[in-house]
Amino acid sequence: MDKKEKEKLFSDFPPVSTNEWEEKIREDLKGADYEKKLIWNTIEGIRVRPYYRLEDNEKLDQTQALPGEFPFTRGKFFESNDWMIRQDIEEKEAGNANKEAINAIEKGAESIGFNALSIIDNALLDRMLHGINMKKTPVSFIHAINYKTLLGLFLDYISEKKFNPEEIKGSFNFDPLGYFLLYGSFYSTPEENFRDAADLIKIGKNHLPLYKLLNISGQHYHEAGASIVQEVAFALAQGNEYLAQLTELDITLEDITPRMQFTFSTGSSYFMEIAKIRAFRMLWANIVKQYKPESEEYTKTYIHALTSVWNKTIYDHYVNILRSSTEIMSAAIGGVDGMSVSPFDITFKKPGDFSKRIARNQQIILKHESYFNKVADPGAGSYYIEQLTNAIASQAWELFKNIESKGGFIKVVEDGFINEEIEKTCQKRDMNIAMRKQVFVGTNQYPNLQEKMLDKMQPTAKLSDIGGLKPYRGAKAFEAIRLATENHRQKGFSIPKVFLFTYGNLAMRKARAGFTTNFFGCAGYEIVENPGFKTIEQGVEAALESKAEIVVLCSSDDEYVELAEAAKLIKEKAENTIVIVAGYPKNILQQLQDAGVDDFIHIKSNVLEVLSKYNEKLQIN
């Protein structure tokens, strides 16, 4: 469509200026604070406006390049957005792992990630890879005792089976800097590990030209609670450290970058995660360009995405499927090269066939039924996504430069800088979770009151306490409170009862009863519901008959004046009963407290702190 046709098409719609939009918004706000109501300040400190316009994007250099063009913000490929569906298999026993892999391939997996910790000889590797056509199915190794030894075994296997090594694709999860980040030490020594990396790259160049032999484990930052800006900046610094160290060992840039892979976890912040992938690709291309590669082809990066574990929950764990669904959508739209989806029940048990099938099918549906792979950079042109991409890139670049000014990646890990910066973010995240500004459905909000998980829990492996960065899950503190309640019952004690003393205004008592149910339901307490009492005396009698440890008065602020009498009567007849008001009627707080009210719960309560207090008070541990 030419310019004249466009002008004709839109001639019936006169342009509206930004000033006119702003005036209309302020008029509709009717005096409410624009900043508080409409500006989203992300955990990264990015100020997200309620809308963006074409004029905002016209200032961005990134919008000028096409897909497949430097700096590859819009992806590496011009015509599509394809990625590799990988299923990661944690089973260590070679024969069982092989059976699982063959089944996964038959059911739609396009790539396999193996745990090769048990592979110590050719026979075991042969058993693990038996029947896999490596020309069609890339194989990655996500764990190994020694990657150089494994590479030798792998090359022997390829030769024996007469596969063409120049066609073999896949990756090694060899990442001594990632290990150093987690444990505070290298596999052996830094010097030896960088020589190992150099050797892997040399062998790969000569024998496995398409294989990725060096992985930058960016997922560690995400799983420790880092912000998106921190994820991008720290992964850039880690990748740059490899470039600097390996080029010092006389390995050329052109040999290094085609054999590097970056792995990121993708979280639930849908648009931010799309922008993260695009921003990282752009920044990495610009970093590599400073090494003066022979062509821009060497500034491209290969990104593998994992669904987040940080945001997954034990309770209401089927919600994890919804969480990972948005995560793989973000990764696909952002333009990753490969993807692995964790089963939804991985938080509390060894995943079974059903949850693995669901995880695999999430990608299959997205790719083969929804066709997310058919369009190159589907997020392009979205004013919002482009602005987020630019904001993440700008802030991550400043943090990356700060790291380099401090001496580079190894130095900032040694000095504790990365841990300290992530800890600051974690404190913000944890407070948001405690205050329910960040919601985990089924855990810190809208719990399933009938759900019991203690008996379903299986032991899970934990990282060593030595050294570095500590992965954790955001919901874990809330889960601990509820699991403690379940454990209390298993010891033979009764679960605390929360009696809802509903009175007065129908809308307010129902709203506050619902709030209270959600509040104490997160601790697994038994909720005693009531339709509403006609008299205070009737409610007091029912509350005492229930023998509930906690009675929560649920009504309107105006009617809490009357309910002060209820608190007084309950305390007179059962002084150990905890009486709480749902809400914060600030004009009569002292009057209610004088009548016997012990506490107030409301939307500004630190829910985690309050529930911890009552678990302790009721001797639940």
CA dihedral 60, 63, 64, 67 (to 10 degrees): 150
Q: How far apart are CA 53 and CA 198, in angstroms?
A: 48
Residue 297 CB: number of other CB atoms within 10 A?
12
- Is residue 124 predicted with pLDDT exceeding 90? yes
Q: Give the contacts of 334 (CB within 8 A, at least 6 positions apart).
A: 266, 273, 274, 275, 276, 277, 278, 379
With contact defined as beta carbons under 8 Å apart, do 307 and 319 qualify?
no
Q: Mean per-residue pLDDT for 115-135?
A: 97
Give 581's pLDDT tier (boundaries 50, 70, 90): very high
The pLDDT assigned to 8 comes to: 66
Q: How many CA atoms lie within 13 A of 423 on its CB side?
A: 8
Q: Mean per-residue pLDDT for 178-188?
A: 94
User: Which residue segments constitute the domains of the chain, with CATH numbers given?
Assistant: 18-51 (no CATH), 71-410 (3.20.20.240), 494-617 (3.40.50.280)
- Is residue 350 predicted with pLDDT exceeding 50? yes
Q: Give the contacts of 581 (CB within 8 A, at least 6 positions apart).
A: 552, 553, 560, 563, 592, 597, 599, 600, 601
Least confident of 62-66, 229-233, 304-308, 571-575: 62-66
The one-character DSSP state at 531 is: S
For residue 14, report the phi and psi dihedrals to the nearest 5 degrees.
Answer: -65, 145
With contact defined as beta carbons under 8 Å apart, do 261 and 216 qualify?
yes
- Is residue 64 predicted with pLDDT exceeding 90? no
The pLDDT assigned to 6 comes to: 60
- Is residue 513 predicted with pLDDT exceeding 90? yes
- Is residue 459 predicted with pLDDT exceeding 80? no
Supply 289's token pair.
């360009």
531-555 pLDDT per residue, tens: 999 999 999 999 999 999 999 999 9
SS (H, E, C) 374-392: CCCCCCCCCHHHHHHHHHH
- Is residue 504 predicted with pLDDT exceeding 60? yes
Q: Mean per-residue pLDDT for 89-107?
A: 97
Q: Mean per-residue pLDDT for 79-99?
A: 96
Which secondary-structure segment (H or E) carries 591?
Answer: helix 589-595
Q: With 0-12 CB in 10 A as exposed, 13-18 as middle and 19+ as buried, what is 225?
A: buried
Give 464's pLDDT tier (boundaries 50, 70, 90): very low
Give 495's pLDDT tier (boundaries 50, 70, 90): very high
Give 61's pLDDT tier (boundaries 50, 70, 90): confident
Supply 453's token pair.
């998980």
- Is residue 168 predicted with pLDDT exceeding 80? yes
At position 601, the amino acid (one-letter code) is I
- Is residue 128 predicted with pLDDT exceeding 70? yes
Q: How many CA atoms lie within 13 A of 340 on its CB side?
A: 22
SS (H, E, C) 218-246: CHHHHHCCCCHHHHHHHHHHHHHHHHHHH
The pLDDT assigned to 281 comes to: 97
- Is residue 620 predicted with pLDDT exceeding 70? yes
The one-character DSSP state at 445 is: B
Where would I find the H helices in 290-416? 319-334, 353-364, 383-405, 409-414
Identify the three-state secondary structure at position 616. helix
What percent of the chain has pLDDT above 70? 97
Q: Mean per-residue pLDDT for 219-238?
A: 98
What percent of the chain has pLDDT above 90? 92
Q: Mean per-residue pLDDT for 113-119?
A: 97
Give 79's pLDDT tier (boundaries 50, 70, 90): confident
Q: Are strands 47-48 and 40-41 parallel, antiparallel or unpaired?
A: antiparallel
